[in-house]
Structure formats: C-alpha cells, structure tokens
Amino acid sequence: MKRIKRIGIITMVALLGFVGIATMTNNHGKYFEIAKNIEIYTNLYREINTYYVDDIDPAKLMRTGLDAMLESLDPYTNYISESEIEGIRYMTTGKYGGVGALVRKVGDKAVITDPHEGFPAQKAGLKAGDIIIAVDGKSAKGKSPDDISDVLKGAPGTKVTLTVERPGSNKQIKVTMTREEVRIPNVPYSGMVSDNVGYVSLTTFTQNAGKNVADAVKRLKMENPNVKGMILDLRGNGGGLLTEAINVSNVFVPKGEQVVMTRGKVKDWDRSFKTLNRPVDENIGLVVLVDKGSASASEIVSGVIQDLDRGVLIGQRTFGKGLVQNTRDVGYNSKVKLTTAKYYIPSGRCIQAVSYKNGEPVDIPDAKRTQFKTSTGRTVLDGGGVKPDILLQDPQLGNVLRSLENESLIFDFVTQYQLKHPTIPAAKDFRFTDYAGFLDFVAKRGFNYETESEALLNELEETSKDEFYLNAIKNELKAAKDKILSSKKNDLSKYKKEITNQIEKEIVGRYYYSKGMIEVGLRNDKEIKEAVMLLNDPAKIKSILKK
C-alpha cells in the first residue's frame, strides 16, 4: 500500500513538473494541453477513488478509461494487459502455452468446440461438445469462455485438471493434462483440386507463413508435374506479420520487386520493402481467393498480385485495413498495440477504409475512390479494400444459416450424431444423408429466426405507433409480414444443399479435424470451381490482365 501511494506521489510530482515546463515553454501549445489534461485525469481519478459511494476496482475503472480513449482512434489500437500478452504471442507466432482446445458458450454452458489434433485436450480424449463443469476443482458456472480459456493457458509443463460432462452420459469425466506449446498451422491444407490445379489454404500470416506456402507449392509441383495452375486461398484470413506478407508474395513474384511501402508520422520509421528471394514459380497460372474477411497482410498479398498483374483475384471485396500496428511497452508488463503507419502497394494506392461504423468499415462508392494503374495499365482503386478482378456474390446464406449457427443447432445436432456414429468414412468419401433427421431435430428445438426485413417492419410498426400512423398502414404491414413468414417456412428446404454442406463440414471436423473440414468444404465450393475453370483458360486470364 505504501509503495502504491509512493508511486502516486512520484507520478503527481512528475506531472506537476511537466505542467510547469510546458507552461514555460509553450503556454498555449500542444504539450501544455497534454499536461493539463493528464492532471485533470489524475485529479478526477483521485476524487472518484476517495469519495464515490461504492467501493471501486481501480484496475477495472482504469481499463474502462483506457479502452474508451483508444476506441476513439481506430479499431486496431488497443491496450494489452499483462494477462493478455499470451494472446499477442499467438497472433504473431501461431503458438501459445495451453491444452489446445477452443471454448465457447452454447446456451448457458461453456463447451469445448474444437480440440486441436495432437495436443493435450485431444490426446486426453476430450471431444467437441463436452460441457466444462470445473477447472482445477473450481466451478465453471457463470464463467465466460474467455475466463476459462485464460485458465487453460499457461506455461508448458504445468498441469491443469478439467472436469467435463459428455452429452448422452450423466457421468462426469475428470482429466489432468500437461500444458504444451500449442502450434496452430498457418497452412492447414494443400492439395490438388483437379488434375492440373493445386490449392493452398493460408489462414494467418504468423511466423514462417511464406516458407510454408513455398513448401506447399514446391511439393504440389513435384508430386504433380502436369500442374499448370495454383489457387491461393486467403478467404477469412485476417492478416498478421508484414514481413510474412512480403514472403508470401515472393513465392510468386520475382526477387527485387518492391511490394509494399509504409509511411507514418515518424519519418525515420518509413520503409520500402522488396522481395529478397528467388520465387518458387513466377509464371504458373495464379488465382487468389479473397472475401470480406481478408484483411491487412491478406490485402497486401492480393493487392500486390493485382498491381503487378501476376494473377487474377476472385471473390468479394476485401475488408479494407491498410494500417500497420506496432506494440510499445507501457510498464508493468503491459503494452499498447497502436497504428503507426499506412501501407502502400506497388501501384501507390492504400486500401485503408476511411471510416468505420460499429468497428466495421463503411463502404466507399467507386466514384469517391482515387484511380491508380497496375503494371499493364489496368485501372485499380484505393480505399475500402481490394476489389477482385472477378466479383462473385457472397456465398453466405444470410439469416437462416446465421441463425442456425447462433443457436448452435448444427453444432448440437452433430454432437448427437457423433454419439451414434463412432466412425465415419474418410473425409473425401463422407456424405450426410439424414436431412429429415436434422429437420426433425430443429423442429423439436422450436427453431425460429427473425429476418432483417422483419426487424425493419417491427421497427416501422413501433415508429408509426408513436407517430399515430399505425392505423393507416397496419393492413399493409400485416400483409408484408405474412408474405415473409410464408417464404421463411421454405428456407430450410430451399437451402438444403448449402446447409447439408455445413453439416458435413461440422461432422467431418469431429473425426478428421481442420484438414478434413477443408477437404469437405472444397468439394462444393463454387469459387474453387470458378478458379479451376479460369486456370484452364489461359486466354481468358490474359484478357483479364491486359489493359
């Protein structure tokens, strides 16, 4: 306690000294404003701590203030406490100390959803669907998945005991696991999707992403001498290390090519990055798959491929994150991850979205985006992400699938399915044929969901009631709601093929983990089929890439 008071006194003296110096040097300048507001902040904090009617948690109160301050900047500038450092290590290296299992809330319970193959949770026999009852003897009731995940993480070699309840059994299972260094592969799958087209999935730009992509391409070429096209899948890849974005580009781009520049407030930190190595193959036909979940380093790679006319982009417009973050120490083993620069790809454009709403980039009309030129003179635009050369409709099913997933109905159905099926055929051979059983399961759970259209109509109904217009439009409102309800009843049948595909991926994931899920997903992937057709039509590729 004395130490804390002493730190506070030293801090206040330092601040008062800073105020004095700033006042003498520039009474109306920026530094005076900084010092003044820091003093106001500490005075306010002291008054609340001393006189507020209830006891407060100083750390929680300060964290609220820090988060609110950084939230006013951009979604990527964040405070990282000492307890969250392990998460940053995972984001950059793809590894962490723990048991290798994801936890999420299903209903009111914390449930294991993804035990990673080959790590302590899976080796101990834990399965997706297991309900967590206690961790190290302490009840998990009321704990969030994040709270439980934090306890499961720890230094490799230490032990943790988990008590779970398996669906279909009233018995509780207690397992003690030794934490290991868990490594999540950034290239979880690579293989041939046709006789002459290879496929590489890259899920994150952690350490060795470039090497792993290069190794996958080399292996596919060696095992399949007739390969003439390659698909690099960056869908859902939220980015990672800038250096690995350069290395991944270098797999297909010649040595010495400038691929990205960073510019920020501190001019000494501005950098220009070139590829350093000989490419694996700078001539093979190339398609890069992107979507709205492709961000940051994914946008560097896809933007480089497009700007240099090296390959064709297929999918949806990317997220729009053209910012570079660095971490800075702020004391007591905590850090701040802050945006220090914007990046610019070969054409000179920055694809950063200029504004956000609820943490998501706001769409920018093409007419308001600046034009740039690729190597062959094609027009490309800055701001708001990278627009694919072949723009396809978002394959997501919208409300029906989102609602099934939000209510964990597919997850729970597959948990019951797994209890009845100890084994299934190989991933490539498995087919789910009991859709009637799924519909029966969904009906028993009383599945219902609200479409965006219904939400808007309900909002209109409330507003019209407040403004006394409801009587004038109530018949039209009822007719519109009835039509939507009638159409909704057919959604589960209308989207049978797509929902079946999702069920198949979830089932195969329980037996063959992430590799199996990807393999099943490729089987019905319309964007993969589009890419294969394109790679078998060199004339069309040439026509797309020319001015």
DSSP string covering 251-291: TTS-TT-EEEEEEESSGGG-EEEE--S--S-SSSEEEEEE-
Answer yes or no: 543 catalytic. no
Nearest to 340 by CA among 263, 268, 246: 263
For residue 512, the model assigns a pLDDT of 95
The amino acid that residue 465 corresponds to is K
- CA torsion through residues 500, 506, 512, 518, sign: positive
Contact 233/199 with Cβ under 8 angstroms? yes
Rounded Cα–Cα distance for residues 139 and 110 (Å): 11
Rounded Cα–Cα distance for residues 127 and 509 (Å): 11
Give me the catalytic one of 127, 143, 321, 488. Answer: 321
Rounded Cα–Cα distance for residues 249 and 301 (Å): 6
Residue reference for tokens 């060696």:
222
Give me the catalytic one of 291, 307, 382, 491. Answer: 307
Contact 237/293 with Cβ under 8 angstroms? yes
For residue 91, the model assigns a pLDDT of 66
HEC profile of 342-363: EEECCCCCCCCCCCEECCEECC
Answer yes or no: 321 catalytic. yes
Query: Is residue 517 classed as helix, strand or coil in its secondary structure?
Result: helix
Rounded Cα–Cα distance for residues 535 and 226 (Å): 13
Rounded Cα–Cα distance for residues 131 and 104 (Å): 10
Contact 277/255 with Cβ under 8 angstroms? yes
For residue 107, the model assigns a pLDDT of 82
Nearest to 204 by CA among 220, 184, 231: 184
Rounded Cα–Cα distance for residues 121 and 130 (Å): 11
Rounded Cα–Cα distance for residues 167 and 113 (Å): 13
Rounded Cα–Cα distance for residues 256 and 348 (Å): 17
Nearest to 231 by CA among 259, 191, 204, 186: 191
Across the chain, which distance is largest between two alpha carbons, in Å? 79
| Chain length of the chain | 547
Answer yes or no: 514 catalytic. no
β-strand 379-381 against 180-183: which pairing, if any? unpaired
- DSSP per position, 392-426: ------THHHHHHHHTTHHHHHHHHHHHH-S----
DSSP state letter for 365:
-
β-pair partners for 109: 106
Q: How far, CA to CA in Å, does 173 sit from each of 124, 127, 170?
A: 11, 11, 10
Cβ contacts of 222 within 8 Å, gap of 6 or more: none
Rounded Cα–Cα distance for residues 39 and 228 (Å): 65
Residue reference for tokens 């099926």:
421
Give me the catalytic one of 296, 298, 347, 408. Answer: 296
β-pair partners for 337: 78, 327
Rounded Cα–Cα distance for residues 337 and 249 (Å): 25
Contact 201/519 with Cβ under 8 angstroms? no
Residue reference for tokens 């899948």:
233
For residue 468, the model assigns a pLDDT of 85
Question: How does pLDDT run along the chain (547 residues), one tens digit per residue?
Answer: 444 444 444 444 444 444 444 444 444 578 888 889 889 988 998 999 899 999 988 888 888 988 998 888 888 888 888 777 766 766 667 678 899 999 999 888 899 999 999 999 999 999 999 999 999 999 999 899 988 998 998 889 999 999 999 998 888 999 999 999 999 899 999 999 999 999 999 999 999 999 999 999 999 999 999 999 999 999 999 999 999 999 999 999 999 999 999 999 999 989 999 999 999 999 999 999 999 999 999 999 999 999 999 999 999 999 999 988 888 898 888 889 899 999 999 999 999 987 767 667 777 788 888 999 999 999 999 988 999 999 998 766 667 888 898 899 999 999 999 999 999 999 999 999 999 999 999 999 988 888 778 888 888 889 888 888 888 888 888 888 888 877 777 888 888 998 999 999 999 999 999 999 999 999 989 999 999 999 999 999 999 999 7
Structure tokens at 48: 């609340």
